C-alpha cells in the first residue's frame, strides 16, 4: 500500500478548494459561522488558491497516474479562479439569485471549481469522469436557482436529463476503450489503440466518439449542444455567464490533454475529426443565433459558435495550437463576462428580449459603450482583442494547411457580425418609446464591465503580455 | 540610461494623458473649475513636452555629431513570422528639430487658443482634440519604424478630421472634414502600399524585418537591386510613399482638401494645416531620404509636381477674398517649395524651409485669427481695412511675417527660399527655377495684397463693428509676436557659404540627412555607380563647379529679391495707392475672365466632380441595380430551391421516416418533429437528434478512414 | 467465450436504457433509462477487467465500476431533487409537456 498523503503537498490549491467545499456545506448549519461575511471569505480563498497555483513549478504525476501537475494545469487553474471570482461579484449584484442561499451557492461553485481542476490535470479516464461529474452535478442545481424565472426548473430538468444521458454514453464508450486496450491512462489508451486506426474497425470509432461525447457535452459542441440555449436562457444570468466560460474552458483543456499523447497517424485522424466538429459547431451556433429575439439565448448560441472557434486551435494538435487556445481564452472570458454583466444591469426584471433594450445608449452611455467594445470584440473586429485572438487561431490553422476549416471559420466570423451589430443597433440607433425605468444595479457593475472593456482595447493594440503568458502553457513542464 | 532616453518617451505620452483626461472628464472639469483653468490644464502637458524637447535638444548638441542618433526601445509589439515591429522611438537631429517645432509652436498655439476659443461651449473638447493631435504628431515624428510612423500618420489625420469639423452643427464644416478625410485616405493607401512593398521584399531576403529606419537605411542598397514587374522596386515604393505625402501635404492632385479645411477654428489651421501636420510628408521624405536618393525618377517627378503645385496654388491665392483661404493657398504653395527642395535632392534645404515656414505661417494664421475675432467672425477681406491703428501688435507681427514669406533680405524666408531656388537651378533645371522664381513673386504680391486690404486704407466694415474692434488680449497677441520675431531671425541658423556663413543647419542635420550633391539628371545616367549616396567622383567635380558659380548665385539672389520687391510694390500700387487703376484693369473683359478662373480655382473641384464622383455614383447605381435584379434573383431562387428541398424532406418525413417509426417503434417519440424542428424544446427529441447526428458521424468517419 | 455473453447482456441493457429514455414521458422513468445505461457500462467494465489483460492495476475495471455506481447514486439524487422542484412549478412531471423554452 502506497501512502498518498504526502502527494497533497504538491496540490495545495486542490486541498484548499476541497476544504472550502466542506466549510460551505457544513458552515451554514453552525449558527456562529453562518453569520460571517461569506462572500469576502470565498474571495479570500480564491485569491489564496490563485497565489498557490502561481507559486507552483515543475511537472509531477500523482495518485497512480491519475493527476498530472504542470504549467498547463496551473495556468488554467488560475484562469478558473479568476472566472469564479468574477462570477461571485456578478452574483452579489444580481437579483435573480436568492441571497439567503449564498453558502450553498458558493459550495456548489467550489465543487465545480474542484471538478474543473481535476479535468485540466487529469490523465486518466477515471479522473476524467470524476472531474466532469463534479462540474456537471452542481451546474444542474445552479441552473435551477433562478428565483425570478420558473422556467429555470424546466431548464434544469432538461439539463440534468441530457447531461446524465451524455455521461452514460461517455461511460459506455470508455468501457469499450478499456476493453480494447486494457488501460485507463491516456498514454496507454492511445498506444493500445495504435493498430486500430488502420483497420478502421467501427468499434474503435464508436468507442472514441462516445467517450468524446461526454466532453463535447461540456464544451457544448455539436452534436451535444442542444441543452445549451435552454439552460442558458433560464438560468440566473451570472450562472449563464459562468457556464458559458469556465466549464467550456475546462472541457477544452481536458480535450487537449486527451489528445496530447497521440501517435502521429492518430493525430491526423483526430485532427480531421475535430475540425469537422469545429466547423459544424460554429456554423450551427452562428446561424441559429441570427434569428434569436432573447439576448441570453443569442449569447448562448454565440458561445456555441465560439466553442467552435476554440476547437480550431485544438484541431491542429500541436503546441502552437494549444498556446493560441490559451491566448484566446482570457480574451473570450473578458468579452463574455463583460457582455453578460452589462445585460444583468440593463435588464428589466426577467425580460431579456432584445427589443427591450432600445435607446439604452441615452440612459447609460458608458455601460453601452463598454458593451459595444465587448460585442465588437466577440465579432472579431479590429482593433479589439477578439480580432487578434481570431487572427492567431487562423494563423495556426493555415500553417497546418487546414484551408477548409479556415474558410468556414472566415465565413462564420462575417455572419456573426450581423447579430452582434444588430444588438448594438437596437441599443444605439433605435429610439426608445418606453418610459423611464429605474436601474437597480449598483454602480460597481458599470466599473466591472468597463474593466472588461478596457483590457479588450488594450490587448487589441498591445497583446505581447498575453502572448508571453500563453507561451508559458506547455504540457508536462 | 541617459537623460534623453529617459525623457523622450514622455514627450508624446504627456499630451496623450492631457487628451485622455480632458476627453473623459473635461466636461466636469470645465463645469467645476471654469474655462480658464481648463485651458491652463490643456496647455500644461504640451508645455511640459516642449520643455523636455528643448532640454533634450541642448543635451543632444553637446554630443559628438556621430553620437547624436538614439533609438529608444520601449517594448515589443507585433511579432509574426519575419515581421518584428517594436515600440521604439528614434531621437536624432531631425526628430529633435521636429519635436521643437511641434511642441514649441504647439504650446504657443495652445496659449493662443485659450483666448481664441473663449466662450465656446466645447472648450474642453477642443483642448482634448488638439492635445490628442499633438500626441499623434509626436508619435509620427518619433517613430523608429514605418508602422509607428503610420500610426501617428493616421492619428493626425483623425484629429485633423475631428478639428476641421469641430463646429459640426454647421453642415459645411462637417462636409469639409469629410473631404479632408477622404482625400487623406487616398494618400494613406499609397503610404501603406509602400510599407507592404518594403516588407514583402525585405522578408524574402532577411530573417527579421523590423521596418525601422536604421534597418531600411542599411538594406536600401540591397533592395534597390530588386524589381517589381520590371520596374526597380525602390522607385515604386518611393512613388507610393510620395502619394502618401501628396495626400497629407496637399500636393497636386490631392491638394483640394486643404483650403476647405479652413472651416476649422483658426488655431487648428495654424497648428495642423500650416505648421505641423501638412509638413509630415516633407518630414517623411527627409526621414527616408536614403530611399528616395536611390529613386531618381521619383525625385524628378516630385520636383515637377512640387513646382506646379507651388505655381498654381500661388496664382489661385491672388484672387481669393477670404483671408484664411489666401493663407491656405499660400500654404499649399510653400509646401510646393519644400517638395521642390526634396525633389532636387536638397533635403536639408527643404527641412529648413519647413522650419521657417512653420514660424511665419503660424504667425500669419494666428494674426488672421485675431483679426477675425476682432471683426466678429468676418473673414472677407473686402470688409476689412485700416486695422493697423486699432490692432498694432497683430498688424506689425503680420507685416514681419509677410516680409519673411516674401523673402525680404535677412529674414528667415530669404535664406530658406533662396537656398531652394538655387538648388533647383543647380541640381534640377533652370525651368524648375523659373517656376519657383515666378511663384516667389506671386507670393509677394498676394501677401502684400492681404496686408494692404486688411490693415491699410479706409475701413470698409460697418460702423458698429468698427467701433468694437480692439486689440486682442495678451495671451492671444504675445504668441503671435513671438512667432513673428522668430520668423525674422530664424534664417541666421543657416547662412550659406557664399554669404560668409557656415550652413550650420545643414551641418547639424548631416548625421541623419545628407543632400544629394548632384543633379537628378546626372544621377540617372550614373545610377549604376551609386554605391554610396554621394558618389565620390562627383563630389570633387561639384566642388569645383561650386567655385565657378558663386557669381551666378549672387545674380540669382539679387534677381529674386528685386522681383519680389517689385511685385510687392505692384500690390502696394493696386491696393493702397490707387485702387482706381485696379478697377480700370478689372473692367477689361480678359482680366475679368482671368480673375474668375483664378477665384474659381481653375474649376478643379468641378473637374473632380465630373471625372471621379459622377462615374462613382454611376457605379453605385449599377451596383444597386445588380443588387435588386441579380442578387434578389439568386435569393428568390434559393428560396424556391429551399421550398423544394422542404417538400422532398416532407415526403421523406412522411413516407420513409414514418415507415421506419411504425416498423421499429422506438423512433416514434421524436420522428414527428425530429427533422423539421430540431430545437423543439422537448428533451427527448433533442437527445434523439444528437444520437442520430452522432451515428451519422461515426458512419461518416468509418467510411472516410477505411 | 464467456466475455461475449457479458457484452451481449450489457449491449441489451444499454439499448433498453436508450429506448426507455427516448420513449417514456415520465421524468422518473427517463431517469431509470439513464440508470440502465450506466449499469450497462458498469457490467462492461467489470467484464473487461476480468477478461482482458490490464496494463495498470489488475482491478482497474472493478474500481471503475464502483465509481460508476457511486456516480449513478449522486446523479439520481440531484436529478430527483430537480424533478421535485419542477413538480412544484408545473404540478406534473411529463417531460414532453415542458416546452416553455424553445427556438
What tens digit of pLDDT does each residue of A350-407 get? 678 888 888 788 788 888 889 999 999 999 888 899 999 999 999 999 988 888 999 9
Q: What is the CA radius of gyration of chain C?
A: 17
pLDDT at B660 over 80: no
Say whether B75 and A464 touch across the interface (CB within 8 A).
yes
In angstroms, rounded to a whole number, what is the distance separating the alpha carbons of residues A457 and B28?
24
DSSP-assigned letter for residue A472: T
Question: Given a cut of 80, is residue A196 above it in pLDDT?
Answer: no
Stretch 142-171 of chain A: residues touching chain C, C-beta under 8 Å: 144, 150-151, 153-158, 160-161, 164-165, 167-169, 171
- B220: closest CA among B229, B208, B230, B232? B232
CA–CA min distance C10, chain B (Å): 19
Neighbour-count burial for B184-204, b at 16+ CB within 10 Å, e otherwise: beebbebbbbbbebbbebbee
Say whether B673 sits in a helix, a strand or coil.
helix
- Min mean pLDDT across B50-64, B498-512, B516-530, B548-562 is at B516-530
d(CA A19, CA B167): 64
Tens digits of residue pLDDT in B230-285: 788 888 899 999 999 998 888 888 888 888 888 888 888 888 888 888 889 999 99
Q: Give per-residue pLDDT as tens, A119-141.
A: 999 999 999 999 999 999 999 99
Contact B681 C19 (CB under 8 A): no
- Does the pLDDT value for residue B521 go beyond 60? no
pLDDT below 50 — which residues of chain C?
none
Does residue B547 register a pLDDT over 60? no
Residue, of B218 and A45, whose pLDDT is higher = A45
Which domain does C10 fall in, by range?
2-97
CB-CB neighbors (< 8 A) of A294 in chain C: 103
Residues of B in contact with C21 (CB under 8 A): 684, 687
Of the two residues B664 and A396, the one the predictor is more confident about is A396
Grid cell at residue A269: 485522424
Q: Does B70 touch chain C (CB under 8 A)?
A: no
B659 confidence band (pLDDT: 50, 70, 90): low
Instruction: Establish whether this prediction's ipTM goes over 0.90.
Output: yes
* Surface of C (54-93) touching A: CB under 8 A: 54-57, 60-61, 63-64, 67-68, 71, 74-75, 78-79, 81-83, 85-86, 88-90
Q: Is B689 on the interface with A (CB under 8 A)?
A: yes
Q: Which of B147, B690, B693, B703 to mutate to test the interface with A (most CBs of A within 10 A)?
A: B690
Q: What is the distance in angstroms between the Cα of C35 and the nearest Cα belonging to chain A?
A: 8
Sign of CA dihedral A301, A302, A308, A314: negative
For residue B524, pLDDT beyond 50: no
Interface mutation target, options A164, A183, A202, chain C, most CBs of C under 10 Å: A164
Q: Which residue of A has its CA nearest to B84?
A: A464
Closest alpha carbon to C15 in B307, A168, B363, A421: A168
| Backbone angles phi and psi of B380, in degrees to 5 | -80, 125
Mean pLDDT of A222-238: 88
Task: Please name which of B282, B234, B251 lies closest in space to residue B94, comparing C-alpha atoms.
Answer: B282
A101's grid cell: 442561499
What is the average per-residue pLDDT within B343-349?
Answer: 87
* Integer Cα distance of B396 and A50 in angstroms: 70
Q: How many contacts, defined by CB atoms under 8 Å, are there between A and B?
A: 55
Residue C47 domain-assigned (yes or no): yes
The half-sphere exposure of A119 on its side-chain side, counting CA atoms within 13 A, is: 31
Longest dimension (CA), chain B: 113
Lowest mean pLDDT across A133-137, A195-199, B125-129, C59-63? A195-199
The least confident of A25-29, B472-476, B656-660 is B656-660
Residues 6+ apart with CB under 8 A from A204: A180, A193, A196, A197
Q: How far apart are CA A69 and CA A120, in angstroms?
A: 9
pLDDT per position as a tens digit, B86-97: 888 998 888 899
Q: Is the pLDDT of residue B528 over 50?
A: no
Cβ pair C86:A297 closer than 8 A: no
A101 touches chain C (CB under 8 A): no
Query: What's residue B612's pLDDT?
Result: 76
CA distance B396 to B364: 11
User: For residue B256, what are the CA distances in angstroms to A349, A398, B241, B460?
Assistant: 56, 44, 19, 30
Neighbours of chain C (3+ CB pairs under 8 A): A, B
Chain C, nearest residue to A187 by Cα: C55
> Is it the case that residue B658 has pLDDT exceeding 70?
no
Contact A387, A354 (CB under 8 A): no
For CA atoms B15, B21, B23, B26, the dihedral sign is: negative
Asked if the model's pLDDT at residue B109 lies above 70, the reply is: yes
- What pLDDT is attached to residue B82? 79
Locate the domains of chain A by residue range. 1-261, 265-477
Give the one of C21, C100, C103 whose C-beta lies nearest to B687's C-beta: C21
Read off the pLDDT of residues A66-83 as tens digits, 9 standing for 90 and up.
899 999 999 999 999 999
The beta-carbon neighbor of A162 closest among B75, B683, B705 is B683
**How many CB atoms are closer than 10 A to CB B621?**
10
Instruction: Identify the pLDDT of residue B212.
Output: 87
Contact residues on chain A for B697, CB-CB shorter than 8 A: 209, 223, 276
What average pLDDT is seen over chain B?
A: 81
DSSP A438: -
> Is the peptide bond between A261 and the residue preceding it cis, with omega within 30 degrees of 0?
no
Which residues of chain B does C96 touch, with a Cβ-Cβ cutoff of 8 Å? Answer: 669, 682, 684
Q: Where residue C60 sits, what CATH number does that domain have?
A: 1.10.287.3510
pLDDT band per the 50, 70, 90 thresholds, residue A200: low
Identify the residue whose cell numbers are 444583468: A344
Nearest CA in chain B to C97: B682
Residue whose C-alpha is closest to residue A183's, from A345, A330, A66, A337: A66
* Out of C19, C102, C103, closest to residue B666 by CB: C19
Q: For B554-575, what is the mean pLDDT?
A: 87
Distance, in Å, from the CA atom of B526 to the CA atom of B294, rounded to the nearest integer, reads 11
Q: State how far the Cα of C10 lies from the Cα of B187, in Å rounded to an integer.
A: 74
Q: Which of C19, C21, C99 sits opposite B681 (nearest CB)?
A: C99
**Chain A adjacent subunits, 3+ CB pairs under 8 A:** B, C
Q: How confident is the model at residue A44 (pLDDT cuts 50, 70, 90)?
A: very high
Chain A residue numbers with beta carbons less than 8 Å from the beta carbon of C14 are 172
Phi, psi of A317 (to 5 degrees): 60, 40
Is C83 in CB contact (< 8 Å) with chain B?
no
Q: How far is CA B179 from CA A7, A85, B129, B330, in A?
A: 70, 50, 19, 20
* Residue B522 pLDDT greater than 50, yes or no: no
* pLDDT at residue number A333: 92
pLDDT for res A198:
54
Query: What pLDDT digit, counting tens, does each position of A312-357 carry?
Result: 999 998 888 999 999 999 999 999 999 988 888 887 666 788 888 8
Contact (CB<8Å) A209/B694: yes
Contact between A250 and A133 under an 8 Å Cβ cutoff? The reply is: no
Give residue C47's pLDDT: 92
∠ at Cα B618 (B613, B622), nearest 5°? 145
Residue of B nearest to A157 (CA): B683
Instruction: Say if residue A413's pLDDT is above 70.
Output: yes
Q: In this model, does residue B673 exceed pLDDT 60?
A: no
Cα–Cα distance between B4 and A460 in angstroms, integer?
Answer: 30
Neighbouring CB atoms inside 10 A of A474's CB total 14
Amino acid at each position: 500500500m502506497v501512502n498518498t498523503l504526502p502527494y497533497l503537498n504538491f496540490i495545495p490549491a486542490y486541498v484548499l478548494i476541497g476544504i472550502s467545499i466542506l466549510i460551505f456545506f457544513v458552515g451554514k448549519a453552525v449558527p456562529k459561522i453562518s453569520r460571517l461575511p461569506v462572500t469576502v471569505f470565498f474571495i479570500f480563498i480564491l485569491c489564496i488558491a490563485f497565489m498557490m497555483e502561481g507559486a507552483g513549478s515543475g511537472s509531477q504525476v500523482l495518485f497512480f497516474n491519475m493527476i498530472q501537475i504542470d504549467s498547463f494545469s496551473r495556468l488554467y487553474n488560475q484562469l478558473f479562479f479568476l472566472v469564479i471570482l468574477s462570477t461571485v461579484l456578478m452574483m452579489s449584484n444580481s437579483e435573480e439569485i436568492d441571497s439567503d442561499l449564498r453558502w450553498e451557492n458558493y459550495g456548489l461553485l467550489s465543487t465545480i471549481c474542484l471538478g474543473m481542476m481535476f479535468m485540466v490535470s487529469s490523465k486518466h479516464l477515471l479522473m476524467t469522469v470524476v472531474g466532469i461529474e463534479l462540474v456537471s452535478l452542481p451546474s444542474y442545481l445552479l441552473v435551477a436557482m433562478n428565483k425570478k424565472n420558473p422556467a429555470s426548473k424546466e431548464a434544469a430538468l432538461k439539463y440534468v436529463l441530457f447531461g446524465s444521458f451524455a455521461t452514460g454514453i461517455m461511460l459506455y464508450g470508455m468501457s469499450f476503450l478499456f476493453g480494447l486496450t486494457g488501460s485507463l491512462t491516456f498514454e496507454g489508451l492511445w498506444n493500445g489503440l495504435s493498430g486500430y486506426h488502420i483497420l478502421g474497425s467501427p468499434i474503435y470509432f464508436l468507442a472514441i466518439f462516445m467517450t468524446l461525447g461526454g466532453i463535447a457535452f461540456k464544451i457544448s459542441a455539436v452534436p451535444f449542444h442542444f441543452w445549451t440555449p435552454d439552460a442558458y436562457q433560464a438560468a440566473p444570468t451570472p450562472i449563464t455567464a459562468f457556464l458559458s466560460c469556465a466549464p467550456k474552458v475546462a472541457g477544452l483543456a481536458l480535450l487537449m490533454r486527451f489528445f496530447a499523447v497521440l501517435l502521429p497517424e492518430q493525430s491526423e485522424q483526430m485532427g480531421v475529426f475535430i475540425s469537422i466538429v469545429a466547423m459544424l459547431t460554429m456554423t450551427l451556433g452562428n446561424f441559429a443565433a441570427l434569428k434569436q429575439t432573447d439576448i441570453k439565448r443569442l449569447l448562448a448560441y454565440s458561445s456555441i459558435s465560439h466553442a467552435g472557434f476554440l476547437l480550431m486551435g485544438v484541431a491542429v494538435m500541436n503546441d502552437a495550437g494549444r498556446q493560441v487556445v490559451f491566448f484566446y481564452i482570457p480574451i473570450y472570458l473578458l468579452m463574455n463576462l463583460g457582455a453578460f454583466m452589462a445585460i444583468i444591469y440593463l435588464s428589466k426584471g426577467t425580460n431579456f428580449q432584445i427589443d427591450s433594450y432600445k435607446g439604452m445608449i441615452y440612459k447609460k452611455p458608458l455601460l453601452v459603450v463598454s458593451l459595444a467594445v465587448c460585442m465588437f470584440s466577440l465579432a472579431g473586429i479590429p482593433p479589439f482583442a477578439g480580432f487578434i485572438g481570431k487572427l492567431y487561431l487562423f494563423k495556426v490553422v493555415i500553417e497546418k494547411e487546414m484551408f477548409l476549416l479556415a474558410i468556414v471559420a472566415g465565413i462564420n466570423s462575417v455572419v456573426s457580425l450581423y447579430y452582434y451589430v444588430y444588438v448594438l443597433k437596437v441599443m444605439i440607433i433605435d429610439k426608445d418609446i418606453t418610459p423611464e425605468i429605474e436601474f437597480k444595479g449598483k454602480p460597481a457593475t458599470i466599473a466591472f464591465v468597463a474593466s472588461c472593456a478596457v483590457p479588450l482595447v488594450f490587448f487589441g493594440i498591445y497583446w505581447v503580455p498575453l502572448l508571453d503568458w500563453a507561451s508559458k502553457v506547455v504540457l508536462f513542464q | 540610461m541617459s537623460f534623453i532616453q529617459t525623457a523622450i518617451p514622455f514627450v508624446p505620452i504627456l499630451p496623450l494623458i492631457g487628451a485622455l483626461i480632458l476627453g473623459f472628464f473635461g466636461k466636469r472639469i470645465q463645469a467645476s473649475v471654469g474655462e480658464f483653468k481648463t485651458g491652463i490644464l490643456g496647455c500644461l502637458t504640451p508645455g511640459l513636452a516642449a520643455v523636455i524637447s528643448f532640454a533634450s535638444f541642448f543635451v543632444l548638441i553637446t554630443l559628438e555629431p556621430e553620437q547624436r542618433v538614439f533609438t529608444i526601445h520601449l517594448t515589443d509589439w507585433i511579432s509574426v513570422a519575419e515581421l518584428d515591429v517594436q515600440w521604439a522611438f528614434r531621437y536624432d537631429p531631425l526628430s529633435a528639430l521636429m519635436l521643437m517645432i511641434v511642441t514649441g509652436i504647439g504650446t504657443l498655439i495652445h496659449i493662443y487658443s485659450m483666448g481664441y476659443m473663449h466662450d465656446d461651449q466645447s472648450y474642453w473638447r477642443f483642448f482634448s482634440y488638439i492635445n490628442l493631435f499633438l500626441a499623434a504628431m509626436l508619435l509620427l515624428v518619433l517613430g523608429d519604424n514605418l508602422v509607428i510612423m503610420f500610426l501617428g500618420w493616421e492619428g493626425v489625420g483623425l484629429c485633423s478630421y475631428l478639428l476641421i469639423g469641430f463646429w459640426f452643427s454647421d453642415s459645411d464644416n462637417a462636409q469639409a472634414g469629410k473631404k479632408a478625410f477622404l482625400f487623406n485616405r487616398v494618400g494613406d493607401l499609397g503610404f501603406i502600399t509602400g510599407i507592404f512593398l518594403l516588407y514583402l521584399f525585405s522578408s524574402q531576403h532577411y530573417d527579421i524585418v523590423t521596418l525601422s529606419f536604421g534597418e531600411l537605411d542599411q538594406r536600401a542598397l540591397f533592395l534597390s537591386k530588386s524589381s517589381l514587374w520590371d520596374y526597380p522596386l525602390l522607385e515604386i515604393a518611393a512613388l507610393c510613399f510620395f502619394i502618401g505625402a501628396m495626400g497629407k501635404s496637399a500636393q497636386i492632385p490631392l491638394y483640394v482638401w486643404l483650403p476647405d479645411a479652413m472651416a476649422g477654428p483658426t488655431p487648428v489651421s495654424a497648428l495642423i494645416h500650416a505648421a505641423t501636420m501638412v509638413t509630415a510628408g516633407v518630414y517623411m521624405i527627409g526621414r527616408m531620404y536614403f530611399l528616395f536618393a536611390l529613386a531618381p525618377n521619383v525625385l524628378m517627378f516630385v520636383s515637377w509636381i512640387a513646382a506646379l503645385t507651388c505655381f498654381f496654388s500661388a496664382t489661385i491665392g491672388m484672387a481669393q477674398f477670404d483671408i484664411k483661404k489666401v493663407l491656405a493657398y499660400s500654404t499649399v504653395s510653400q509646401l510646393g517649395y519644400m517638395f521642390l527642395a526634396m525633389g532636387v535632392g536638397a533635403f536639408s534645404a527643404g527641412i529648413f524651409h519647413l522650419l521657417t515656414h512653420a514660424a511665419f505661417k503660424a504667425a500669419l494664421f494666428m494674426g488672421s485669427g485675431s483679426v477675425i475675432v476682432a471683426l466678429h467672425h468676418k473673414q472677407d477681406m473686402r470688409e476689412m481695412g485700416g486695422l493697423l491703428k486699432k490692432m498694432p501688435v497683430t498688424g506689425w507681427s503680420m507685416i514681419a511675417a509677410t516680409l519673411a514669406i516674401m523673402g525680404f533680405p535677412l529674414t528667415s524666408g530669404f535664406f530658406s527660399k533662396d537656398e531652394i531656388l538655387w538648388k533647383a537651378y543647380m541640381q534640377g533645371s533652370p525651368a524648375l527655377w523659373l517656376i519657383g522664381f515666378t511663384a516667389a513673386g506671386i507670393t509677394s504680391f498676394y501677401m502684400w495684397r492681404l496686408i494692404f486690404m486688411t490693415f491699410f486704407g479706409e475701413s470698409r466694415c460697418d460702423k458698429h463693428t468698427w467701433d468694437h474692434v480692439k486689440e486682442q488680449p495678451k495671451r492671444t497677441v504675445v504668441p503671435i509676436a513671438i512667432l513673428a520675431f522668430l520668423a525674422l531671425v530664424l534664417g541666421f541658423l543657416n547662412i550659406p557659404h557664399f554669404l560668409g556663413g557656415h550652413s550650420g543647419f545643414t551641418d547639424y542635420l548631416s548625421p541623419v540627412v545628407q543632400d544629394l550633391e548632384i543633379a537628378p539628371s546626372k544621377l540617372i545616367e550614373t545610377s549604376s555607380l551609386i554605391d554610396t549616396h554621394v558618389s565620390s567622383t562627383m563630389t570633387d567635380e561639384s566642388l569645383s563647379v561650386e567655385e565657378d558659380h558663386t557669381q551666378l548665385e549672387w545674380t540669382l539672389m539679387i534677381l529674386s529679391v528685386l522681383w519680389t520687391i517689385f511685385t510687392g510694390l505692384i500690390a502696394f500700387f493696386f491696393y493702397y495707392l490707387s485702387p482706381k487703376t485696379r478697377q480700370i484693369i478689372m473692367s477689361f473683359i480678359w482680366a475679368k475672365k482671368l480673375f474668375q478662373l483664378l477665384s474659381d480655382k481653375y474649376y478643379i473641384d468641378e473637374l473632380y466632380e465630373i471625372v471621379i464622383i459622377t462615374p462613382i455614383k454611376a457605379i453605385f447605381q449599377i451596383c444597386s441595380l445588380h443588387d435588386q435584379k441579380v442578387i434578389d434573383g439568386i435569393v428568390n431562387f434559393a428560396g424556391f430551391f429551399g421550398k423544394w428541398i422542404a417538400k422532398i424532406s416532407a415526403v421523406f418525413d412522411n413516407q420513409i421516416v414514418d415507415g421506419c417509426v411504425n416498423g421499429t417503434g422506438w423512433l416514434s417519440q421524436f420522428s414527428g418533429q425530429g427533422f423539421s424542428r430540431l430545437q423543439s424544446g422537448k428533451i427527448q427529441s433533442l437527445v434523439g437528434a444528437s444520437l442520430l447526428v452522432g451515428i451519422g458521424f461515426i458512419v461518416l468517419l468509418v467510411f472516410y478512414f477505411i | 467465450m464467456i466475455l461475449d455473453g457479458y457484452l451481449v447482456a450489457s449491449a441489451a441493457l444499454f439499448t433498453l436504457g436508450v429506448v426507455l429514455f427516448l420513449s417514456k414521458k415520465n421524468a422518473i422513468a427517463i431517469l431509470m433509462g439513464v440508470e440502465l445505461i450506466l449499469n450497462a457500462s458498469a457490467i462492461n467494465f467489470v467484464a473487461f477487467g476480468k477478461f482482458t489483460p490490464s496494463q495498470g492495476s489488475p482491478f482497474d475495471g472493478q474500481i471503475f465500476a464502483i465509481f460508476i455506481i457511486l456516480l449513478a447514486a449522486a446523479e439520481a439524487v440531484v436529478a430527483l431533487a430537480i424533478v421535485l422542484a419542477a413538480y412544484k412549478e408545473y404540478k406534473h412531471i411529463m417531460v414532453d409537456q415542458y416546452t416553455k423554452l424553445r427556438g
